[in-house]
Structure 1
Amino acid sequence: MAGMLLSEAEKTFILRGAESNFRVDGRKRLDYRPMELETDVVSHASGSARLRLANTDVLVGVKTEIDTPFPGRPNEGKLEFFVDCSANATPAFEGRGGEELGTEISNSLSRAYQSSYAFDLSTLCILPGQQCWKLYIDILILECGGNLFDAVSLAVKAALHNTRVPLVTAAAMDGAQVELHLSDDPFESKRLDVSGVPCLVTLCKIGDHCLVDPTAEEEVCSTASIVLAVSENAFITSVFKAGVGSFLPQTLHETFKEGQEIGIELNEALKAALEREEKEREDNEKSPAIQRYGFLK
């Protein structure tokens, strides 16, 4: 991460560790750190989630609003991502540093969700060409300990899984006008299908090797990164490169293959954690205790 200072000895130590497949915290190159997940944490949001990955802490809230479809996409709803990098998360976010990173993250999510294989926007349509649901996905970076793209994507998918969209009925009025009736019953709502929603997988190049889930110190030592958006059925919806370094063709091919396999594992682990959380919440509906659900341990 920009702003973090490492001595040459520390950089060499991290580089040699990557070459030996043994990182500073004891992980291998393709190992993630344990994560903790909690959903339904913001009472006034339609869906929410909080995910902690080591020292990286992300909070996501989803709000629903009725809007007008884009003229070129009359049968689709809308998604809008907004990322707020709190200046308290890291000194690097002070000034415009956080704003630039927030824009980069929101753009990467928009690209990942652009494919119809990732998220079917037609399910958000109320009246073709007239009314649709618009989802505002607000992301707050509370603390940064590296690997923001992956952590944010997992938290966003969990928040969308937790989202309830109110049921709307349309009643014909005089002329061509249609009146919408929004249900006041919170139980009369529909869930979003997030089965195709991808998770971002960052593969960080250090020396001649790539590793996943980089710490802030490892990000400083990286010359380039590849970020893949991978769904649970191994479909890659977007790819982008960060950093000034380059990849050899053979290295790039291996990186894609590794990222695809890791993406499948991430999606499966997140899905299992969400299912486990829902089951335990149903079993303990009357208990006020807050529980966090870990995965990838």
Structure 2
Amino acid sequence: MPQEAQISVNERAFIQDALKEQLRLDGRAFDAFRPLELTFGDEYGVADVQLGKTRVIARISVDVTTPLPERKFDGVFQIITEFSPMASPAFEVGRPTNAEVVLSRILEKAIRRSNALDTESLCIIAGLKCFALRADVHVIDHDGGLIDASCIAVMAALQHFRRPDVLVEGEKATVLSIRERDPIPLSILHQPLCVTFSYFEEGELFLVDSNLAEEQVRDGEVIITMNRHGEVCQIAKYGGAPVEPYALFNLTSLALQKVKEMSKFIQERLDEDAKRRNAGGLLAELSAENDRPFDRPVG
């Protein structure tokens, strides 16, 4: 199986010595994220996140299906991750790596199991028809911080997505097009976001948003998922050196600050996209179509 290019012994020692001197190679503070960019596609539910050199695209799609027998009043929601081979030499189609398994589990617990999405709002006819929502996460470039970037992408895409409206007559449901009726935003109960802390020197030093080189040198990682109200959705730690309870408490406080900043950033980008769509949206398109015949020269 292809493997990630390993960092050299000299590079490892250089990064470790720099951290002991309270320095990061890119000049960031220990608690600082890399530059974050978020853009939305022309269709609803496509979010493109760039965190430093890491790039993740999330796309939300919807279909009508039959609800699960044990959850007749709920819709279906699933998250699918896909690592592109061009993102890293360690990724191969059809052969999930440990990083892909961990990412899938974290996103599942952080978003789906924390009930970030109100699945009851996806029900059309109880026991007969419901919306099946699917979030596809595509990793395009990998330079560390995949979990944080992917969680931002999925939550931003969910808030940006609009599902079609439905006309229900008895047991018959008709999905209406965008021209028949405006699509409807999803019912989001809360917005969980992940903050990954890499620790060094047996838990003495903690870094926020490590790049790939720093991830290869770290002793372990702690992933904290919270919403902006301070509610902890999950704390995950896969192996590595132990972490003191007091240090974990401090990390939770720092994670809340970062989650509030990211939530505000996502909302600002959503507002900008809404203004852009209102300026050149469906009404402007219909108006332009009505004006075209009068623009033609006469004679």
Cα offset for 1:20? 3.7
- Look up the match of 1:215: 211
Structure ranking higher on relative contact order (CA contacts 8 Å, 6+ apart): 1
- Look up the match of 2:175: 182
CA–CA separation in structure 2 for the residues paired with 1:256 and 1:120:
26
Q: Is the radius of gyration larger for structure 1 or structure 2? A: 2
Among all aligned residue pairs of Structure 1 and Structure 2, give the percentage whose two residues are the same amino acid.
25
Closer/same/farther in 2, CA of residues 220 and 99 from structure 1, 3 Å limit: closer
Cα offset for 1:18? 3.0
Closer/same/farther in 2, CA of residues 96 and 222 from structure 1, 3 Å limit: farther
- Look up the match of 2:272: 276
- 8 Å CA contact 1:157–1:194 kept in 2: the answer is no
CA–CA separation in structure 1 for the residues paired with 2:194 and 2:114:
17
Unaligned runs of 5+ in 2: 286-299
**Would you say how many aligned residue pairs link Structure 1 and Structure 2?**
278
- 8 Å CA contact 2:74–2:120 kept in 1: the answer is yes
Cα offset for 1:246? 1.8
Cα offset for 1:94? 3.5
Question: In structure 2, which of residues 199, 202, 225 is the aligned counterpart of residue 205 of structure 1?
Answer: 199
- Look up the match of 1:101: 99
Which shows bigger deviation, 70-79 or 221-230?
70-79
Cα offset for 1:80? 0.8
Cα offset for 1:99? 4.2
Secondary structure in 1 matching 2:67: coil
Secondary structure in 2 matching 1:92: coil
Question: 1:29 is matched by which residue type in structure 2?
Answer: F
Question: 1:202 is matched by which residue type in structure 2?
Answer: T
Unaligned runs of 5+ in 1: 173-177, 288-297
- 8 Å CA contact 2:198–2:221 kept in 1: the answer is yes
- 8 Å CA contact 2:37–2:50 kept in 1: the answer is yes
- 8 Å CA contact 1:86–1:93 kept in 2: the answer is yes
- 8 Å CA contact 2:83–2:92 kept in 1: the answer is no
**Counterpart check, 1:12 vs 2:19:** no
**Counterpart check, 1:191 vs 2:185:** yes
CA–CA separation in structure 2 for the residues paired with 1:116 and 1:24:
36
Give the TM-score, by structure 2 length.
0.85
Give the TM-score, by structure 1 length.
0.85
- 8 Å CA contact 2:84–2:93 kept in 1: the answer is no
- 8 Å CA contact 1:201–1:229 kept in 2: the answer is yes
